Amino acid sequence: MWRNSSTGFGRISRLLHWTMAALILALLVLGTALGWIKPNLSTLWLYGLHKTMGLTALSLAVIRLIWHRISPPPPPLGPAAHWQNRAARATHLTLYALMLAIPLSGWIASSATGLDLVIFGQITLPPIAPTSEALENAGFAVHGILTKLLMALLLAHITGGILRGLKGDATLRRITKGLESPSRL
Ligand code: HEM
Ligand code: HEM
C-alpha cells in the first residue's frame, strides 16, 4: 500500500517520515558541531555538507506537504479531542512549520554573507536575500533559536510516540510497519 488509508500510513509517508527523521537528526548534530568549530579552509566542506543536507530536507518537506494533499494522513487513533491527540496534532503542525522555517532561515542567512551557496559540491543556488551583515547575524540567530525549539519538540514527539507504543497503542506501529489494525487510545 503506497497511499495512506483512513486508518494507517502508506509506504510513501513512512519512507518520507523515516528518511527525514534520520536527515534532520543528523542535521541537528552536524549543525551543533558547526556552532563549535571555526570556519576555515579545512572545515569548509562540513558547511557545504550541512547546506546540501539542509536544502535536501527543505525539498523533502515540500514534497511531504504536497503528498499530504494527494493522500491525507489518517486521523489520530482514539478520540481527536483527547489531550494527547490535540498535543500530537499541535506538535506535528509546528514540526512542519519548523521543517520549512529552519532551512529557509539558513538559506537567507547564508545568502546574506554574499558568498556563493554551493550544494552537492557543484550546484550554485541563487541568493534569496541581499548581502547584509545585520541580516546574516539575525538570520543565523533565528536559525539557532528555531533549532532549539525543534530539539525540544522532537523530545516530546519521540517520547510521546514511544510511550504510546509501550502502552500497546497502534500509533507507533502504523508509522513503522504500517499495520492498520484499529486500536484504542
Ligand atoms: C526516532 C524518532 C521518531 C519516532 C519514534 C517518531 C514517531 C512518530 C509516530 C508514532 C508518528 C505517528 C503519529 C500518528 O499516528 O498520527 C509520527 C508522525 C510524525 N512525525 Fe515522527 N517520529 C520520530 C522522529 C521524527 C522526526 C525527527 C521528525 C522531524 C521533524 C518527525 C516528524 C513527524 C511528523 C511531522 C509526523 C506527522 C505525520 C504526518 O502527518 O505526516 N518525527 N512520528
Ligand atoms: C532542517 C534543516 C536544518 C537544520 C535542522 C539545521 C540545524 C542547524 C543547527 C542545530 C545549527 C547550530 C545552531 C547554533 O547552535 O547556533 C546550524 C548552524 C548552521 N546552519 Fe543549519 N540547519 C538546517 C538547514 C540549513 C540550511 C539550508 C543552511 C544553509 C543553506 C544552513 C546553514 C547553517 C550554517 C552556515 C550554520 C552555522 C552558523 C554559525 O556558524 O553560527 N542550515 N544548523
Kindly report, residue by residue over 81-134, the tens digit of the pLDDT: 899 999 999 999 999 999 999 999 999 999 999 999 999 999 999 999 999 999
Residue 8 has pLDDT above 50, yes or no: yes
Query: How far is residue 107's CA from residue 90's CA, in Å, rounded to a whole number?
Result: 26
CATH code where residue 73 lies = 1.20.950
Regarding the beta carbon of 172 and ligand 1, being less than 6 Å apart is answered: yes
Instruction: Pinpoint the alpha helices (H) of 37-181.
Output: 44-70, 83-112, 133-166, 171-176
What is the position in ligand 1's atom list of the atom closest to the CA of 162? 5
- 152 confidence band (pLDDT: 50, 70, 90): very high
How many structural domains does the chain have? 1
Query: How far is residue 157's CA from residue 97's CA, in Å, rounded to a whole number?
Result: 15
For 30-72, write each residue's pLDDT tens digit: 999 999 998 899 999 999 999 999 999 999 999 999 999 999 9
Cα 60 to middle of ligand 1, angstroms = 14
The answer to whether 11 and 1 are in contact (CB under 8 A) is yes
**Domain assignment present for 183:** no
Nearest residue CA, atom 10 of ligand 1? 172
Paired strand residues for 118 = 124
**Domain assignment present for 133:** yes
**Domain assignment present for 125:** yes
85 or 185, greater pLDDT: 85
Average pLDDT, integer, range 133-139: 98
Nearest residue CA, atom 40 of ligand 1? 73
**Domain assignment present for 65:** yes
Domain assignment of residue 104, given as a range: 11-176
For residue 127, the ligand closest to its alpha carbon is 2
For residue 15, the ligand closest to its alpha carbon is 1
For residue 95, the ligand closest to its alpha carbon is 1
**Closest C-alpha to 98, from 141, 70, 58:** 58
**Domain assignment present for 105:** yes
**Domain assignment present for 3:** no
Cα 109 to middle of ligand 1, angstroms = 28
Regarding the beta carbon of 73 and ligand 1, being less than 6 Å apart is answered: yes
pLDDT of residue 179: 65
88 CA to centre of own chain = 15
pLDDT of residue 175: 95
Nearest residue CA, atom 41 of ligand 2? 35
Using the 8-state DSSP alphabet, how is residue 118 labeled?
E
C-alpha cell at 156: 516530546
C-alpha cell at 183: 486500536
Question: Which residues are CB-contacts of 39 (< 8 A; sequence separation ≥ 6)?
Answer: 47
Residue 184 has pLDDT above 50, yes or no: no
The answer to whether 54 and 27 are in contact (CB under 8 A) is yes
Q: Is the dihedral of CA 36, 58, 164, 153 positive or negative?
A: positive
Across all residues in the chain, what is the average pLDDT?
Answer: 94
**Domain assignment present for 185:** no
Query: How far is residue 43's CA from residue 49's CA, in Å, rounded to a whole number?
Result: 10
Nearest residue CA, atom 4 of ligand 1? 158
Cα 58 to middle of ligand 2, angstroms = 12
**Domain assignment present for 80:** yes
Q: How far is CA 177 from CA 10, 66, 125, 156, in A?
A: 9, 23, 37, 22
Pocket test for ligand 2, best of 143, 146, 147, 149 (most atoms within 8 A of CB): 143
pLDDT of residue 140: 97
CB atoms under 10 Å from CB of 171, counted, come to 22
pLDDT of residue 80: 86
